Amino acid sequence: MSKLTANELKTRGVSVLDEALHGDDEATISVRGKDKYVVMDLERYNYLRVCELEAAYRETMADIESGHYIKESVADHIKRLDEDI
């Protein structure tokens, strides 16, 4: 993973991101010597979002198959949510 500093980004602009991502999927940006941000191209971001949604779908399907869900009306659901507050 490439590394760049916030100062490099500030002085050289977005072009430094193209350089940092050339050959790498992600790059970190450090601020005052500490890694703070990760940047990636949009294609990689979209791929990760799809992975996240697929994992959430599998988790939901596992909950349904194991009976870990509640079937209730909207009014009952809102009432239960209000009780948790």
State pLDDT tens for residues 15-51.
Answer: 999 999 998 999 999 999 999 999 999 999 999 999 9
Residues 31 and 51 reside in one and the same domain: no
Residues 27 and 59 reside in one and the same domain: no
Residues 61 and 77 reside in one and the same domain: yes
Residues 23 and 52 reside in one and the same domain: no
Q: Bridge-partner residues for 27, per DSSP? A: 2, 39
Task: Compute the distance between CA of residue 31 and CA of residue 71 in angstroms, rounded to an integer.
Answer: 48
Residues 18 and 50 reside in one and the same domain: no
Residues 16 and 48 reside in one and the same domain: no
pLDDT at 85 over 80: no
Domain span including residue 35: 2-40
Task: Compute the distance between CA of residue 15 and CA of residue 41 in angstroms, rounded to an integer.
Answer: 13
Residue 57, exposed/middle/buried by CB under 10 A (0-12, 13-18, 19+)?
A: exposed
State pLDDT tens for residues 49-81.
Answer: 999 999 999 999 999 999 999 999 999 999 999
Number of domain units in the chain: 2
Residues 36 and 55 reside in one and the same domain: no
Residues 13 and 35 reside in one and the same domain: yes
Please tell me the number of Cα atoms within 13 Å of 53 on its side-chain side: 6
pTM of the full structure? 0.71
Q: Bridge-partner residues for 29, per DSSP? A: 4, 37
